Amino acid sequence: MTKHTASHDGAHSLAAKPPFVKPSFARSTGRRIVVGLALAGLSVVPLAGGARADTPAAPDTVAAADARGRGTLVDVVDLRTVSAADAARALVEDGWDAGAVRDDVVLRRLVYRTVDAQGRPTTATGLLALPVHGERRLRVVSYTHGTELYRGDAPSTSDETWGIAPALTYASAGFAVAMPDYLGQGEGPGPHPWMDISSETTASLDLLRAAREFIGRHGHTTAREVYVGGFSQGASAALGLARALQSGADPWFRVGAIAPISGAYDFGGVQLPALLGGKPADKPRVLYSALLLVAFNRLHHIYDTPADVFRSRYADTIEGLLDGSHRDDEILEATPNSLDELLTEEGRALLERPTGALAAALRETDAVCTDWRPRVPVRLYVAAGDEEAAPANTAHCRAAMRAGGVDVRVTRFGADVDHAGSNRLGTAAALRWFRELAGRAG
């Protein structure tokens, strides 16, 4: 994999994080393991009546003890306190902007009650990052992460700068940061329902509730307005959370501003044609297409057997490979480099002309820009050089919102900025904006 350099908005040169690839496999990535942040020797702080965080409660256990309700804490795991100097060093070495770093950051994994994609009680995990010397009343950022194939790469279990960089960025600037792992990632049970906006929304909202509970126990309060951001998969998840907050899904929190980065907001109308037409790089085309079929089939039954849509060489293995327990290098080695090698004619036809359950699921996924009108400021961030999320997704989202009377501002990065680079630049830009808004709000 090659490094890409960007010089937009005063940012550092960017060493791109290849899709789903770890440094040992990619040879050249810019994703560096931060020795000082290695999540070893964790201490577990069990709450009264809760399960231990290193052994998450099974869904049936949660169902039997769900009187406390969604968003309540089960466990808190102290991960690490990162000095401002170490945070700045880690961010700079991985190509992020460290210009706003001013405080030490404490990282914790929260285990909390939520519901699964069918609405049944379960648990999930997420990362809570707090400034060590934060004000008594903390402003909150919810940041939803991009696609990770291996559950251990989710924010609360990641040992790489890439996984926690947004948390370090926002928390070191004074914000409380909630980063959900999503269902089935981190240390949550079950498979991950990828690009399922409903469950991404509930996991994100319930983490905010758990974070508020924890913060309140330690002498602080949270502002009601949440600044909502996210990247790639998390861009759509961010819009889902913002929509829920605006609709009154929580009695305390409400959305204050929305800043998604490089989303596939129109998966059916833009992203799928881009995948099938060969615009994204070959390996991402294969992995995103496989993930879409496997993950959506778990929820919506879009094929009867894997052999219906995957060629015989992969039909017996692909669902197991994408169960969240396999590291990226295993998946990369065990999957082909082209869609023609992966898909049967029926599988390709299903993606080219989605019908039935798949078409209905895609309509729900793509509704994050079309079925509501944000009443708070919205900024979208996109890179012309994005090799994974087609930039036309952002144009379609902006057009849909503007048609509904929403004034959406788009920040465009140049053709020399790739997908990973857009996250680095977009996070820095969103932080500057959130700080401006927080200053105005007093």
pLDDT digits (tens, 9 = 90+) for 333-362: 999 999 999 999 999 999 999 999 999 999
What is the distance between the alpha carbons of residues 298 and 191, in angstroms, rounded to a whole number? Answer: 9
All structural domains of the chain, each given as residue ranges with its CATH number in brackets, are 23-265+370-441 (3.40.50.1820), 267-364 (1.10.260.160)
Provide the CA 382 distance to its chain's centre, in angstroms.
16
Q: C-alpha distances in angstroms, 83 versus 36, 103, 130, 368, 416? A: 10, 7, 12, 37, 32
Residue type, 170: Y
Q: Mind listing the pLDDT tens digit for each residue in 187-238?
A: 999 999 999 999 999 999 999 999 999 999 999 999 999 999 999 999 999 9
Q: What is the DSSP string of 164-185?
A: HHHHHHHHTTT-EEEEE--TTS
What average pLDDT does the structure give for the chain?
Answer: 87
Residue predicted with more confidence, 43 or 76:
76
Q: What is the pLDDT of residue 14?
A: 24
Q: What is the pLDDT of residue 56?
A: 37
What is the distance between the alpha carbons of residues 407 and 73, in angstroms, rounded to a whole number? Answer: 37
Q: C-alpha distances in angstroms, 328 versus 24, 94, 301, 437? A: 10, 19, 26, 38
Helices (H) and strands (E) in the chain — how many of each? 17, 10
Task: Name, in order, each residue with C-beta under 8 angstroms of 433's C-beta and a sequence gap of 6 or more.
Answer: 257, 259, 379
Q: What is the DSSP string of 269-287?
A: IIIHHHHHHT-S-HHHHHH
Q: What is the DSSP string of 19-37?
A: TT--HHHHSS-S--B-GGG
- Rg over alpha carbons for the chain, rounded to the nearest Å, is 20
Residue with the two structure tokens 């590291």 = 327
What is the distance between the alpha carbons of residues 85 and 58, in angstroms, rounded to a whole number? Answer: 39
Q: What is the pLDDT of residue 68?
A: 55
What is the longest distance spanned by two Cα atoms in the chain? Answer: 61
**pLDDT of residue 53 exceeding 90:** no
Residue predicted with more confidence, 7 or 25:
7
3-state secondary structure of 256: strand
Which two tokens mark 58? 């099974």
**pLDDT of residue 375 exceeding 70:** yes
Q: Are 164 and 91 in contact (CB under 8 A)?
A: no
Q: Mind listing the pLDDT tens digit for each residue in 390-422?
A: 999 999 999 999 999 999 999 999 999 999 999
Percentage of residues of the chain with pLDDT beyond 90: 82
Q: Are 57 and 117 in contact (CB under 8 A)?
A: no
**pLDDT of residue 332 exceeding 60:** yes
Q: Mind listing the pLDDT tens digit for each residue in 245-295?
A: 999 999 999 999 999 999 999 999 999 999 999 777 789 999 999 999 999
Q: What is the pLDDT of residue 75?
A: 98
pTM of the model: 0.87
**pLDDT of residue 366 exceeding 70:** yes
Res. 50 pLDDT band, cuts 50 70 90? very low
Long-range contacts of 213-218 (CB under 8 A, 24+ apart): 213/71, 213/72, 213/73, 214/73, 214/76, 214/108, 214/110, 214/128, 215/130, 215/138, 215/176
